[in-house]
């Protein structure tokens, strides 16, 4: 999708789907008006995109003949509309806190649609999960004991997964090595209020190969547990499916060529999310399903032959293209003979890669408030938030703007739905939290905004 806005940056233009592309291409005044009304930054959501992302994954699973349980990893974004979209599309929800659980329940989820795979569950969270009979992934022997302590006598049997720590993540604090899984199994064997439903893992990194390796380790434990009389029905591979933010070739060229001088810090960050990866989430899943198990069967055939459901909790991949973040330029300040800082209204705590010592390697799109001057000069600048902290930057990279931005222009970060827009947002300097709104079409087919709330004005994609 080509956008006729001004493209700053370093050749890392975001890939856009039509919904955002069309809005950015022809609706500058409307965007300016929305920011005037709702403040900067404003986060805009397209809940339908989550449903398309789900459909793409489901089609691969169906094609592979794999029974599956897809849960949207709600931690990826605070938007209730995205939760609601996942539920409307028949997906479950992976809840990581009591509060995510309560939101999912308010939106109509029942326990059978919920799984809790996070590691740090409080007693109150355990209790609510038990009350609605949600599936619980147990992270440790210690968590299993805590869970047993709060199980009501005579209540329904509580289904649990055990979280495996595969050998390729031996240093992770999450999950359990094989020996601890065995201890949990013998504890469950003595506890009639618990049922072992299968194994779960979630790995850092984004390779399908590491998941295939973990699946092979899980398969051995599934066999072992069946030999001991358990009846596991699921292997759950967590999340980590990739998003393609920018063109693969442009990305590789950029990463290969970038130098310390390209950053105001004089340092290239040590690691980046693979913004221009070679696989879409659906292709990634297809590769995984075709990977060989130890006995040569494909993962898909193994799961089908063994009567196992593939559980998954994609977060980022389901939020692909579901949101953008729009910042208003506050001021452009010279900081050297050929260097500027562009202050935006709003802090970088919500667009957060720089807070992890990394960088969002996706260029912002400039939407000018007024027609640009004919003889505009390019400038080189980095982007800073409005707080008093030197580290409050949206980009440490020097970005080249073919036309210098001016106060009142907008800088749009596309595809911020996956952890980029609200993970670290806060009210520093008492600035209000950024607004989050859903973009829908009005009766004339024009884009308009509705609140992204649970309750009275819930976003259905089409009013």
Q: Using CB under 6 A, which of the segments 238-246, 349-357, 387-395, 431-439 binds ligand PLP?
A: 238-246
Asked if residue 274 binds ligand PLP (CB under 6 A), the reply is no
The label of the residue with tokens 């929305």 reads 34
Half-sphere exposure in the Cβ direction for 443 (13 Å, CA)? 0
Query: Closest separation between CB of residue 110 and ligand PLP, Å?
Result: 21
Q: Using CB under 6 A, which of the segments 152-160, 237-245, 299-307, 339-347 binds ligand PLP?
A: 237-245
- Helix/strand/coil for 462: coil
Query: Binding ligand PLP by CB under 6 A: which of 64, 238, 274, 405?
Result: 238
* DSSP secondary structure of 145-205: HHHHHHSPTT-PPEEEEEEB--GGGTT-SSSB-HHHHHHHHHHHHT-TTEEEEEEE---SS
Neighbours of 252 (CB within 10 A): 13
Query: Binding ligand PLP by CB under 6 A: which of 3, 12, 35, 241?
Result: 241
Query: Binding ligand PLP by CB under 6 A: which of 38, 202, 286, 386?
Result: 202
C-beta closer to ligand PLP: residue 165 or 397: 165
Q: What single-letter DSSP state applies at residue 378?
A: P
Pull the structure tokens for residue 63.
């094609």
Q: Using CB under 6 A, which of the segments 142-150, 249-257, 315-323, 382-390 binds ligand PLP?
A: 315-323
What is the end-to-end Cα distance of the chain in Å, rounded? 26
Q: How far apart are CA 384 and CA 393, in angstroms?
A: 4
C-beta closer to ligand PLP: residue 140 or 301: 140
Q: How far apart are CA 236 and CA 199, in angstroms?
A: 6
- Residue 142: C-alpha distances to residues 157, 175, 176, 302 (Å): 20, 11, 11, 32
Query: Binding ligand PLP by CB under 6 A: which of 314, 405, 417, 447?
Result: 314
C-beta closer to ligand PLP: residue 293 or 317: 317
C-beta closer to ligand PLP: residue 368 or 417: 417
Shortest Cβ contact with ligand PLP: which residue?
239
C-beta closer to ligand PLP: residue 191 or 283: 283
Contact 104, 74 (CB under 8 A): yes
C-beta closer to ligand PLP: residue 34 or 174: 174
Query: Closest separation between CB of residue 321 and ligand PLP, Å?
Result: 15
Asked if residue 234 binds ligand PLP (CB under 6 A), the reply is no
Asked if the bond preceding 307 is cis, omega within 30° of 0, the reply is no
Asked if residue 92 binds ligand PLP (CB under 6 A), the reply is no
Query: Binding ligand PLP by CB under 6 A: which of 31, 45, 76, 383?
Result: 76
Asked if residue 350 binds ligand PLP (CB under 6 A), the reply is no
Pull the structure tokens for residue 18.
């039509």
Q: What single-letter DSSP state applies at residue 9?
A: B
Q: How far apart are CA 380 and CA 340, in angstroms?
A: 6
Cα–Cα nearest to 292, from 216, 210, 207, 214 = 216
Q: Where are the beta strands (DSSP E) in 296-373?
A: 309-312, 323-336, 339-344, 365-367
Query: Binding ligand PLP by CB under 6 A: which of 80, 175, 239, 346?
Result: 239
Contact 7, 365 (CB under 8 A): yes
Asked if residue 79 binds ligand PLP (CB under 6 A), the reply is no
C-beta closer to ligand PLP: residue 202 or 340: 202
Q: Where are the beta strands (DSSP E) in 385-445?
A: 393-401, 410-414, 435-441
C-beta closer to ligand PLP: residue 72 or 382: 72
C-beta closer to ligand PLP: residue 314 or 364: 314
Q: Which of residues 155-184 bind ligand PLP (CB under 6 A)?
A: none
The label of the residue with tokens 């040590």 reads 270
Q: How many residues bind ligand PLP (CB under 6 A)?
A: 15
Asked if residue 417 binds ligand PLP (CB under 6 A), the reply is no
Query: Binding ligand PLP by CB under 6 A: which of 41, 198, 232, 240?
Result: 240
Asked if residue 73 binds ligand PLP (CB under 6 A), the reply is yes
Q: Are strands 365-367 and 323-336 parallel, antiparallel or unpaired?
A: unpaired
* DSSP secondary structure of 290-301: HSB-TTS-BHHH
Asked if residue 415 binds ligand PLP (CB under 6 A), the reply is no
Query: Closest separation between CB of residue 92 and ligand PLP, Å?
Result: 12
Give residues in contact with ligand PLP (CB under 6 A): 73, 76, 94, 117-118, 202, 238-241, 313-317
């Amino acid at each position: 999708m080509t956008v006729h806005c001004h493209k700053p940056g370093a050749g890392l233009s975001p890939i856009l789907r039509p919904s955002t592309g069309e809005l950015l291409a022809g609706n500058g005044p409307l965007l300016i008006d929305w920011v005037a009304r709702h403040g900067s930054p404003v986060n805009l959501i397209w809940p339908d995109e989550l449903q398309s992302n789900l459909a793409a994954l489901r089609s691969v699973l169906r094609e592979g003949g794999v029974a599956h349980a897809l849960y949207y990893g709600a931690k990826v974004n605070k938007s209730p509309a995205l939760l609601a979209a996942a539920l409307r599309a028949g997906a479950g929800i992976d809840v990581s806190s009591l509060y995510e659980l309560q939101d999912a329940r308010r939106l109509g989820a029942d326990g059978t649609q919920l799984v809790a795979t996070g590691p740090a569950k409080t007693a109150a969270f355990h209790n609510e999960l038990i009350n609605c009979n949600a599936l619980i992934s147990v992270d440790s022997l210690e968590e299993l004991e805590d869970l047993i302590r709060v199980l009501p006598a005579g209540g329904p049997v509580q289904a649990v997964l055990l979280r495996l720590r595969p050998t390729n993540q031996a240093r992770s604090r999450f999950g359990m090595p094989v020996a601890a899984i065995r201890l949990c199994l013998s504890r469950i064997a003595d506890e009639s209020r618990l049922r072992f439903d299968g194994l779960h893992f979630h790995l850092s990194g984004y390779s399908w190969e590491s998941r295939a390796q973990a699946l092979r380790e899980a398969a051995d434990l599934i066999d072992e547990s069946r030999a001991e009389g358990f009846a596991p029905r699921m292997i759950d591979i967590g999340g980590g499916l990739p998003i393609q933010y920018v063109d693969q070739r442009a990305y590789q060229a950029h990463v290969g060529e970038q130098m310390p001088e390209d950053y105001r810090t004089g340092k290239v960050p040590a690691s980046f999310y693979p913004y221009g990866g070679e696989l879409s989430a659906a292709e990634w899943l297809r590769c995984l399903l075709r990977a060989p198990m130890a006995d040569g069967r494909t993962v898909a055939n193994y799961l089908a032959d063994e009567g196992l459901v593939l559980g998954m909790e994609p977060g980022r991949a389901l939020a692909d293209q579901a949101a953008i973040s729009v910042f208003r330029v506050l001021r452009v300040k010279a900081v050297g003979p050929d260097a500027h800082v562009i202050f935006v209204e709003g802090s970088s705590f919500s667009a957060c890669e720089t807070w992890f010592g990394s960088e969002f390697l996706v260029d912002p799109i400039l939407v000018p408030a007024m027609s640009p001057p004919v003889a505009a000069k390019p400038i080189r600048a980095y982007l800073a938030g409005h707080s008093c902290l030197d580290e409050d930057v949206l980009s440490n990279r020097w970005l080249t703007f073919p036309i210098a931005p001016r106060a009142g222009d907008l800088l749009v970060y596309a595809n911020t739905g996956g952890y980029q827009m609200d993970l670290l947002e806060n009210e520093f300097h008492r600035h209000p939290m950024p607004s989050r709104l859903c973009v829908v079409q009005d009766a004339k087919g024009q884009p308009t905004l509705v609140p992204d709330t649970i309750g009275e004005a819930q976003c259905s994609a089409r009013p």
